[in-house]
Chain A
């Protein structure tokens, strides 16, 4: 269990963290979200003891990171934003060094390395120099490093940033696996990343926590507007006018024309009305074939933008 209490971090006059508090229970998977520069890495660096906070404290299983750093650090595995790799070493040498550093007993080191390389699927590159590895592999070596010493808590700072789509899928499935056996904190500025694995999302902006909830609840509570995305065959103005006239439509606009003779329309509706049937009735009555109809789900992206935007609006 991690308790973060009233963290404040000042860099000179710049306030990087402003009274950040949250608790992570054992087994939870926390998504730590925020735009770049919001204070995600700073928070993680303070939890892991790399930086010290100006005020406030962090307790890992009741152990203060500041007062008993060795004891607290043993409980945490950390993958910083840039994996801390010694590129002139081979993967095996590197992991052996990390084992020594984290005090894994000498007789367990070989076994540990074998297990971890298998788990992170880097067993095939064990003998290669880290310098020659692709970014995806490096990231996984970074995760392997965090796993050394069997920490209960894993903290991963933007684990998929800068990877190609295939590597992202690989790292994500690895994270999913790890989430079953560890307490996890994952930071990201991409919301899809945490949506699938996380049990709870903490949104941080400009050094303050602006929202914390499950991904589902956030979706329910924050955004009420409903959206339809349609492609209808028919004369542009007639279609638009007809749809705007349907009860419940708050706005409709033509976004583009993709197919000859048809229009793509985005429709916003209020909460009470489900207009899909009405739209169908209107189109069939006028013989405007519906080529496509999709209701847009609210993504965390929208919530995120809304929450961080609202705060800014309120301040200014």
Chain B
């Protein structure tokens, strides 16, 4: 795992990608630091952290697009996968390397609040530290998604564009759900669609039509029963779910100064889940 980690980290600095990523990130931070800190004389650095949240989603694919795509394209994955190292260690090594580069950038930006402080600004220290922790977790979660996408294609460009697309979708999801109809019928239909989708995935995984059928029928029956007997279940269901699952809304807690431990747990579990899926995708390719 350490071997893969070190190799990945070094390769970021051997290709222009690592530098491009760092430059992109630092320019973003620099612009907002100038705006808020220097022009508007606002010492609340968490504003900067908040302002760049969407824009860094364009930078992160630089970090993740080549992770597995390049290995597959150059067939170097044959070396990794025939070496006596389990797949999860390879995935984790790569993930940690990307995390490290992301963290390095953030460490560099810490200079900015320090400068604000040195210039006599009243930097809200706890809030900024909380914001940084949230920002790290937020970044790690998106890196894990990018990694997953990279394991799906051997074309780096496709991986990058797909990542940006998915990132944007996730970012805009909250806005989209608030526009959807709020009627119970619509919420129930969405739930049923979700159950069908889940059943399809189960079928793909185990190829057993009976188990899948039972899951689907029981799920849909439950959804319809809920509709008639516990209608409150569907009250704002979509918004509740999307708020709960949103990588973005949870981040806003951090920068507004709320440190909720459940948010930390959520981000970490989310990343672990993505790593797990990545491992599964790579394992599965051997079987197909």
Contact = CB atoms under 8 A, between A and B. Distances in A.
Interface of A: 11, 45, 48-52, 69-71, 73-74, 76, 78, 80-82, 84-89, 93, 97-98, 100-103, 145
Given A73-B84, A101-B3, 19 more contacts: A49-B81, A51-B286, A70-B84, A70-B85, A73-B82, A80-B79, A84-B74, A84-B77, A85-B76, A86-B76, A88-B11, A88-B15, A98-B79, A100-B2, A101-B4, A101-B80, A102-B83, A103-B84, A145-B79
A89 B84 CA distance: 22
A101 B85 contact: yes
B262 interface: no
B82 A78 contact: yes
Interface centre among B80, B83, B286 (most CB of A within 10 A): B83
Contacts of A52: 286-287
Given A11-B288, A97-B7, A49 B82 contact: yes
Contacts of A45: 78
A145 B4 CA distance: 16
A48 B287 contact: no
Most chain A CB atoms below 10 A, which of B15, B76, B79: B79
Contacts of A101: 3-4, 79-80, 83, 85
B172 interface: no
A80 B84 contact: no
Contacts of B83: 73, 98, 101-102
B81 A97 contact: no
A131 B97 CA distance: 23
B235 to A, nearest CB: 46
A51 B10 CA distance: 28
Contacts of B124: none
A76 B6 contact: no
Interface string B127-156: 000000000000000000000000000000
Nearest to B83: A101
16 contacts: A48-B82, A69-B84, A73-B84, A76-B82, A80-B82, A81-B75, A82-B74, A85-B74, A85-B76, A86-B11, A88-B15, A97-B7, A98-B79, A101-B83, A103-B84, A145-B79
A49 B79 CA distance: 11
A177 to B, nearest CB: 23
A129 B257 CA distance: 50
A153 to B, nearest CB: 12
Interface in B77-107: 77-86
Contacts of A87: 74
Which 6 pairs between the two chains have the least Cβ-Cβ distance? A100-B3, A84-B79, A84-B76, A70-B84, A73-B84, A48-B82
Contacts of A76: 82
Contacts of A70: 84-86
Nearest to A75: B84
Nearest to B4: A101
A85 B77 CA distance: 10
B281 to A, nearest CB: 14
A234 B187 CA distance: 97
Interface string B171-207: 0000000000000000000000000000000000000
B288 A80 contact: no
Identify which of A49, A70, A86, A88 gathers the most chain B CB atoms within 10 Å of its CB: A86
Nearest to B283: A52
Contacts of B79: 80, 84, 98, 101, 145
A76 B79 CA distance: 12
Contact of B75 (A71, A73, A84, A98): A84
Interface string B158-181: 000000000000000000000000
A64 to B, nearest CB: 14
A42 to B, nearest CB: 12
Nearest to B14: A88
Contacts of B15: 88
Contacts of B2: 100
**Which of A49, A51, A101 is the most central at the interface, judged by chain B CB atoms within 10 Å of its CB?**
A101
Nearest to B75: A82
Contacts of A50: 78, 81-82, 286
A108 to B, nearest CB: 15
B3 A97 contact: yes
A315 B274 CA distance: 49
Contacts of B84: 69-71, 73-74, 102-103
A97 B77 CA distance: 14
B84 to A, nearest CB: 4
Contacts of A71: 84
Contacts of B82: 48-50, 73, 76, 78, 80
A76 B2 CA distance: 22
B86 A78 contact: no
Most B-side CB within 10 Å, residue of A81, A88, A97: A97
A19 to B, nearest CB: 19
A305 B71 CA distance: 37
Nearest to A46: B286
Nearest to B288: A11
B90 to A, nearest CB: 9
A80 B78 contact: yes
A84 B79 CA distance: 6
